[in-house]
Amino acid sequence: MEAIVLAGGLGTRLRSVVSEVPKCMAPVAGKPFLWYLLSYLGRYPEVNRVVLSVGYLREVIFEWIKVVGDQFPFSIDYAVEEVPLGTGGGIRLALSQCTGDDVLVLNGDTMFDVDLPHLLAAHAQHPDAAVTLSLRHLQQFERYGRVSIDESHVITGFHEKQFCADGLINGGVYVVRRSRLDLSALPERFSFEKDVFEPHVHERDLYGFVSEGFFIDIGIPEDYRNAQFEFLERYCNYDTLLLDRDGTINERRPNDYVKTWSEFQFRPEFLRWAPMLGHTFRHIFVVTNQRGIGKGVMTEQVLADIHRQMCQILASDYGLKVDDIFYALAIDNADPMRKPQTGMWQKLLEAYPYVQAERTVMIGDGDCDEAFARNCQIAFVRV
């Protein structure tokens, strides 16, 4: 089985949070999103070759694959779009590099954890199928168009995006039968969804395979943020978590410091994910710059009281137990203890020698946190 991954998307809707890499390379839980797609395919020995359909900022993908490509149990080749070809043009170009009749296709911005042997078996049951689409059941959605099927699983309609209380959507994983699908008459650039799927409804040669596997589309900022935590829980093997404090655990005070417990306010987003973090990680530490002490606007005793109450609530109400807190008091940004310098990390490793960088991830909200994680050679998640 050959697989195509559509990795040439511009990611326009994601530009506000990811702008310097193609959408499939957007970092999720410390790894490029493409890493999860290739790791998913690597779970199935049926897949022996992957063709990446690339275009926008493709050099980023080329360089990354040079480093990590040997981790995956299949060969990796490229179909290069010199100009944007749309989903249809990209698939047609990649199909021209495939040799088998049945080819798996994955959207490069969607994770749909479909059981591939069951999908392929369902496809094989219908020799007349041009494409078998994996469909996901959702409730209360409006981002996706609804797909309807009959009792024989023949797809009978693709419906416009609008609010739907309950229905099936195209999950972005499908099997194309090349001998049943002639794309030669279509223009250079076209949409696979609009120009292939919708017309073929009348041919009754599209089939649906319904799966309840994990599904997430990172195409918009809100879902991209949710994916950070979903993937930490489902797909990562980190056992140690470092947490920034201000802006991550609690709300920042504009142009001020959190000087008393009454000024401390948990971030609602953090509390929503705190129970998951608590049961996912064996070791949890806070690393925080506290320049306010160095400036004399608060004392270490007050800081200790804030941290005591913070940790007590996180442990008792959300199941997140903080093992230890490391903080830097210095005013000077160049001080070795202050992020992004690695002093707090070195101190942590001395106190807890079982912590391993390759199994550690940090969650933070700023460039300073990201630089700290990079200097410590640990994974990073920005919130």
Q: Across-strand partners of 204?
A: none
Residues 339 and 374 in one domain: yes
What is the domain extent for residue 275? 237-382
> By the 8 A CB rule, do 173 and 114 touch?
yes
- Catalytic: 223? no
Q: Across-strand partners of 76?
A: 50
Select from 158, 184, 217 the last residue of a domain.
Answer: 217
Q: 375-379 long-range CB contacts below 8 Å, 24 or more apart?
A: 375/340, 375/341, 375/342, 375/345, 376/342, 376/345, 378/30, 378/242, 378/345, 379/29, 379/30, 379/31, 379/238
Select from 217, 251, 270 the last residue of a domain.
Answer: 217
Burial class (CB in 10 A: 0-12, 13-18, 19+), 169: buried
pLDDT in tens, 25-70: 999 999 999 999 999 999 999 999 999 999 989 999 999 999 999 9
Structural domain tally of the chain?
Answer: 2
Q: Across-strand partners of 215?
A: 112
Residues 86 and 131 in one domain: yes
Residues 85 and 203 in one domain: yes
Q: Is residue 185 part of a domain?
A: yes
pLDDT in tens, 321-360: 999 999 999 999 999 999 999 999 999 999 999 999 999 9
**Catalytic site residue from 246, 256, 332, 369:** 246
Q: Across-strand partners of 208?
A: 133
- Catalytic: 150? no
**Catalytic site residue from 109, 244, 365, 369:** 244
Select from 155, 184, 217 the last residue of a domain.
Answer: 217
Residues 373 and 288 in one domain: yes
Domain CATH number, residue 352:
3.40.50.1000
pTM confidence score? 0.91
- The DSSP letter of residue 222 is H
